[in-house]
Amino acid sequence: MPVIVAGDLNVVERGHQPPHKVFGAWEYAFCDSFQATNLTDVFRHLHPDKTAHSWYGLTGAGFRFDHVFVSTPHAAHVAACDYHQQAREAGLTDHAVMTLRLGLPAHPKHVKGCGCPLTAYSHTV
């Protein structure tokens, strides 16, 4: 079953442009911990070289504070992950909307004792 962690984490990845001068080592370590626990930053997975920002400060500097991570085995099923600036630009929020589209395969038929957490909610064959 896929694991998805998403939200405004208020951290940026190492090497973020522009650099965030007030971040300490523990904040970068927090961001790194997702990969260490077998989670993939899907935006970066799909857009390895793209500079994108989800929040802009009063000076106009942008930062990618909002993230979506999925369990690494499921990263291959990510169809799209993007930031959309329209709501932020309209003043409805101070963050961009982030969307994720997954193309997960259908679960095979459940059999008694398969160990799947969905077994209790499905028919056995």
Return the pLDDT at 109: 65
Residue-wise pLDDT for 72-103, tens only, equals 999 999 999 999 999 999 999 999 999 999 88
Return the pLDDT at 82: 96
**100 neighbors 45 (Cβ within 8 angstroms):** no
Return the pLDDT at 83: 97
**Residue 86: exposed, middle, or buried by beta-carbon count in 10 A (0-12, 13-18, 19+)?**
exposed
| In the chain, beta strands by DSSP E | 4-8, 39-41, 55-56, 62-63, 66-71, 78-84, 97-102
pLDDT: which is higher, 29 or 113: 29
Residue-wise pLDDT for 15-59, tens only, equals 766 666 777 788 888 888 888 899 999 999 999 999 999 999 888
DSSP string, 33-69: HHHHTTEEEHHHHH-TT----SEE-TTS-EE--EEEE
Return the pLDDT at 24: 76
CATH class belonging to 4-121: alpha beta
Return the pLDDT at 25: 80
pTM of the model: 0.76
| CA-to-CA separations, 66 to 8, 53, 78, 116, in angstroms, rounded | 4, 8, 17, 31
